[in-house]
């Protein structure tokens, strides 16, 4: 592939998703020039901007539509992983739920070797991003780039879910981002005036026309350019040509849990034995690259409805529950979410009319790996999250299924309930439910961890997000999370972008 062009800016950012959009905006606001490389197209698909459009985006052009290797503990199935391939990244594809996670998630990061990432240190970054319709408070910010709203025109079936959980003794929670996370309630969402507010729309669209900004869409990053051991730019493919984007200050990888680790490996930064086997020249031995891959797990309890449900006006994912399998836990580890449509369970019947209570596990113990299949930068990577490898994950997810069934059997759904389609009436025992989970488990779309932050020998970046052993190179996205927070990962990834911007500017 012939080389065509060379550009230079103060910073090169790979990925225009939840973290990359934030970092770019903050650097531009301080007068620095930024070149953003995004593998996907512009966010001009109308479905991206509709709060109800996200189910139709799955397996569509803005979706990487990744697939894992066969998962031994999940009936040897290959699991489908949606990931955003568009301006805004997965924030242009997700369900728009705004959840920060539990304070203990971040305190555990700090205790594990990441000082400055405890709850009290990161909360100001969450607040800085927000423009919450509730106004400013101890728990919310106002005036930031990211609109956050409450769901006001609620779906009656989502209200039935909340009423059913309350009747079973689950406490009400008015704000999952407030003082108490555990309980049942309605979500806050990144929606304003009936439109999705992705990270790109919120942070970058208002400034994308400034002279300091260059945005290259359809640009597939192939490797980080190193000179005398320092990162100086990125080589990428665009329009059948190879280009080089140079950075006078730093290269920042915000390509996500898959893309950032893949790019490090393609650049010869990673476990030496694996790189040699794959035909990649080793530049920096960093054994933790691609380790620690994990994800929130989800299954679908599907219910056939006696009649069509009315269409919703919000994000389809209006209400949910946070609960703990053990009351001694500092925070929740289960997150069943309600959908007023059929979200099919793999290999189970999908009724024409129905709704779904989706049991979710948000504190998994299983860990896996990301590896290159070859030295070809266009080749798909090998994703092995080790789903359900830890027996505790299986048991906890079965607990979530049982909890969700209790809610689904409540009389509060009498207006719609006809039958349980999955796991179905034949699933009576706990062993039956274990088989159901193995057969139907999938993703909550919250993959993290492949460029883990820390100070030990298997960490990839330090607490300032600098890649160990490679000056001029940082990673800032969900891949740096040591462990996944107890909730949806979009807000935490935006927070990482906010903190990363401060770290970069402090050294500028």
Residue numbers annotated as active site:
446
101 CB-contact burial (10 Å; exposed 0-12 / middle 13-18 / buried 19+) = buried
Measured distance CA(13)–CA(474) in Å, rounded: 10
User: What secondary structure letter does DSSP report for 267?
Assistant: T
The end-to-end CA distance of the chain, in Å, is 35
Q: Three-class SS of residue 320? A: strand
Between CA 279 and CA 446 the distance in angstroms is 31
Query: According to the 3-state scheme, what is the secondary structure of 174-217?
Result: CCCCCCCCCEEEECEECEECCEECCHHHHHHCCCCCCCCEEEEE
d(CA 449, CA 429): 35
Residue 355 among known ligand-binding residues: no
Report CA 289 to chain centroid distance, whole Å: 18
Q: 478: closest CA among 505, 443, 451?
A: 451
Is 86 marked as a binding-site residue? yes
Give CA–CA dist 430/191, Å, rounded. 39
Distance of CA 95 to the CA centre of its chain: 11
Separation between Cα atoms, residue 261 and residue 221, nearest integer Å: 12
Tell me how far apart the alpha carbons of residues 496 and 22 are, in angstroms, rounded to a whole number: 9
Nearest to 363 by CA among 323, 403, 402: 323
Which residue ranges make up the annotated binding site for substrate? 444
Binding-site residues from annotation for FAD: 86
């Amino acid at each position: 592939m012939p080389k065509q062009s060379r550009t230079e800016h103060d910073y090169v950012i790979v990925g225009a998703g939840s973290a990359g959009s934030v970092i770019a905006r903050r650097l531009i606001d301080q007068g620095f020039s930024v070149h953003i490389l995004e593998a996907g197209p512009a966010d001009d698909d109308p479905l991206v901007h509709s709060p109800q459009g996200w189910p139709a985006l799955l397996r569509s052009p803005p979706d990487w539509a990744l697939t894992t290797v066969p998962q031994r503990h999940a009936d040897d199935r290959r699991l489908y992983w949606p990931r955003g391939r568009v301006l805004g990244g997965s924030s242009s594809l997700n369900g728009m739920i705004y959840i920060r996670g539990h304070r203990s998630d971040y305190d555990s990061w700090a205790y594990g070797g990441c000082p400055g990432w405890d709850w009290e240190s990161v909360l100001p970054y969450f607040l800085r991003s927000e423009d919450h319709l509730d106004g400013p408070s101890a728990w919310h910010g106002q005036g930031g780039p990211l609109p956050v709203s409450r769901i006001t025109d609620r779906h009656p079936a989502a209200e039935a879910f909340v009423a059913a959980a309350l009747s079973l003794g689950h406490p009400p929670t008015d704000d999952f981002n407030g003082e108490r996370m555990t309980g049942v309630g309605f979500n806050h969402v990144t929606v304003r005036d009936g439109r999705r507010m992705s990270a790109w729309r919120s942070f970058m669209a208002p400034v994308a026309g400034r002279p300091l900004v260059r945005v290259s869409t359809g640009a597939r990053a192939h490797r980080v350019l190193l000179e005398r051991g320092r990162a100086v730019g990125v080589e990428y493919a665009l329009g059948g040509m190879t280009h080089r984007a140079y950075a006078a200050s730093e290269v920042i990888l915000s390509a996500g849990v898959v893309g950032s680790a893949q790019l490090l490996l393609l650049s010869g930064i990673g476990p030496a034995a694996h790189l040699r086997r794959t035909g990649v020249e080793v530049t920096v031995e960093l054994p933790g690259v691609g380790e620690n891959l994990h994800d929130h797990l989800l299954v679908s309890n599907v219910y056939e409805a006696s009649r069509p449900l009315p269409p919703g006006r919000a994000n389809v994912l209006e209400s949910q529950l946070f609960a703990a399998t053990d009351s001694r836990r500092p925070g929740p580890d289960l997150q069943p979410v309600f959908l007023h449509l059929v979200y099919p369970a793999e290999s189970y019947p999908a009724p024409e009319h129905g709704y779904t209570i989706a049991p979710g596990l948000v504190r998994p113990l299983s860990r896996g790996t990301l590896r290159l299949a070859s030295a070809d930068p266009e080749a798909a990577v090998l994703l092995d999250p080790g789903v359900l490898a830890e027996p505790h994950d299986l048991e906890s997810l079965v607990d979530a299924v049982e909890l969700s069934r209790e809610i689904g059997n409540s009389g509060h759904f009498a207006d719609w309930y006809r039958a349980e389609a999955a796991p179905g009436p034949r699933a009576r025992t706990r062993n039956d439910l274990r088989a159901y989970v193995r057969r139907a488990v999938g993703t909550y779309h919250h993959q993290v961890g492949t460029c883990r932050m820390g100070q030990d020998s298997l960490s990839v970046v330090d607490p300032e997000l600098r890649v160990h052993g490679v000056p001029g190179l940082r990673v800032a996205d969900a891949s740096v999370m040591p462990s996944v927070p107890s909730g949806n990962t979009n807000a935490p990834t935006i927070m990482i972008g906010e903190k990363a911007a401060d770290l970069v500017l402090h050294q500028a």
